[in-house]
Homo-oligomer: A and B are copies of this chain.
């Protein structure tokens, strides 16, 4: 039906607002990509330092094409280095991907 990628990010609680602001001000380079259906950032109710970046795609191939693109690299390179260090410090969890199988 469609395809979803989920990245779980952990940041120190004091950097959460900064990370959310970064997402709100994102470059939106992905938005015009073939097969891109939308992106949301979810913040855990019980643990403010846990955020999920959830992106929807028409299918797996569209997602993979984006992941290999210059636009993806440019979007990542825009992240403030100090913030990126803090995200890295707590380690980006391995990306997980899903097929939407029912609605």
Interface centre among A46, A51, A60, A101 (most CB of B within 10 A): A101
Q: Can you list 25 pairs linking A and B with CB atoms under 8 Å apart?
A: A4-B42, A20-B101, A23-B101, A23-B102, A24-B102, A38-B103, A40-B102, A41-B100, A41-B101, A41-B102, A41-B103, A42-B98, A42-B99, A42-B101, A43-B99, A44-B96, A44-B98, A45-B60, A45-B96, A45-B97, A45-B99, A46-B96, A46-B97, A51-B101, A52-B98
Which range holds the interface residue count of chain A?
20 to 34
Main secondary structure of the interface of A (DSSP, over half): strand
Whether A39 sits at the interface, judged by CB under 8 Å, is: yes
Separation of A51 and B24 alpha carbons in the complex (Å): 29
